[in-house]
Amino acid sequence: MTQFRLLDLFCGAGGSARGYQRAGFYVVGVDNRPMPRYAGDEFILGDALDYCAAHGREYDAIHASPPCQKYSVMTKGRWRDRIAQHPDFIRTMREILKWSGKSYIIENVGGARSILVNPVMLCGSMFGLQTRNGSQLRRHRFFELSFGFVLSPACRHDRGSVVGVYGGGQNPARKHPATIGVWGHSGGASARDGLIQFGINDRRQAMDIDWMTGNELSEAIPPAYTEYIGRFLRAHLEAVRA
């Protein structure tokens, strides 16, 4: 089986990378911060936009998860006055990806839906992601794809106890019914906007990610998402190569 090379831009600790690996890709990650726990095959410290412009054509496909602060719910809500301070990486990233001529994926949060072109939405409930105690993962992420894709799993919000993944987390004794928050630092018990936050082990379990810190989990997507997309991407690349 051909092992295609995939470039993982703004890679973080490698939630996306692990999914693409499961789909059979060799994954090279780029981030402007050191990522000692990166789950991909290679890591390059550098600017993702610059690296893609210089080396994107050397890969078979490219995944990009540009910073989402400009579009996040938290920025638009509590820190609305700071929106202008955050650059719009998505449009710039798209131009570089198109210039590369490679198949690409751009991933971002729901607030960026209007900026992404014909995005598909994936949710943890589509893949049965949950904690050991049955709290369901609802982490919606949107993907702009340059290749054909058929969305078959259904988004199923059918549980009273829910895992949200926006950061930090907290008291494992308080679980039902509750939302698991995944935003910020792991630590002591905390209530925020009426949501009870769970501990880091709950969040790792729900995301199917066992190697990340709490802050890294806050920025990650579950490998199940990119494993699913990666299967379509492989089929596309194999058809093009044939």
Q: If you search the block for the tokens 């008291």, which residue do you land on?
A: 171
Judged against a pLDDT cut of 50, whether residue 109 lies above it is answered with yes
In this prediction, residues 175-183 reach a mean pLDDT of 43
Q: Is 51 helix (H, G, I), strand (E, B) or coil?
A: helix
How far is C-alpha 139 from the chain's CA centre? 9
| Two tokens, residue 24 | 């059979």
Judged against a pLDDT cut of 50, whether residue 184 lies above it is answered with no
> What's the predicted TM-score (pTM) here?
0.83
Q: Which residues contact 69 (CB under 8 A, 6 or more apart)?
A: 75, 86
Per-residue pLDDT tens digits for 3-41: 999 999 999 999 999 999 999 999 999 999 999 999 999
Q: Which residues contact 14 (CB under 8 A, 6 or more apart)?
A: 8, 27, 29, 35, 37, 38, 39, 40, 220
pLDDT (0 to 100) of residue 168 = 43
Judged against a pLDDT cut of 50, whether residue 172 lies above it is answered with no
Helix 223-241 and helix 15-22, axial crossing angle in degrees, nearest 10: 50
In this prediction, residues 131-160 reach a mean pLDDT of 88
Of 122, 104, 117, 39, the closest CA to residue 65 belongs to 104
Q: If you search the block for the tokens 């058809």, which residue do you land on?
A: 239
Residue 181: band (very low, low, confident or very high) from pLDDT cuts 50, 70, 90: very low
CA gap 44, 223 in Å, rounded: 20
Q: If you search the block for the tokens 């490698």, which residue do you land on?
A: 14
β 183-186/191-192 pair status: unpaired
CA gap 218, 77 in Å, rounded: 18
Judged against a pLDDT cut of 60, whether residue 175 lies above it is answered with no
Judged against a pLDDT cut of 60, whether residue 183 lies above it is answered with no
In this prediction, residues 48-58 reach a mean pLDDT of 98
In this prediction, residues 111-121 reach a mean pLDDT of 94
Q: Which CATH architecture has domain 5-123+140-149+219-241?
A: 3-Layer(aba) Sandwich (3.40)
Judged against a pLDDT cut of 60, whether residue 130 lies above it is answered with yes
CA gap 116, 96 in Å, rounded: 15
Residue 73: band (very low, low, confident or very high) from pLDDT cuts 50, 70, 90: very low
Judged against a pLDDT cut of 60, whether residue 192 lies above it is answered with no
Longest distance between any two alpha carbons in the chain, whole Å: 55
How many C-beta neighbours within 10 Å does residue 81 have? 8
pLDDT (0 to 100) of residue 228 = 97
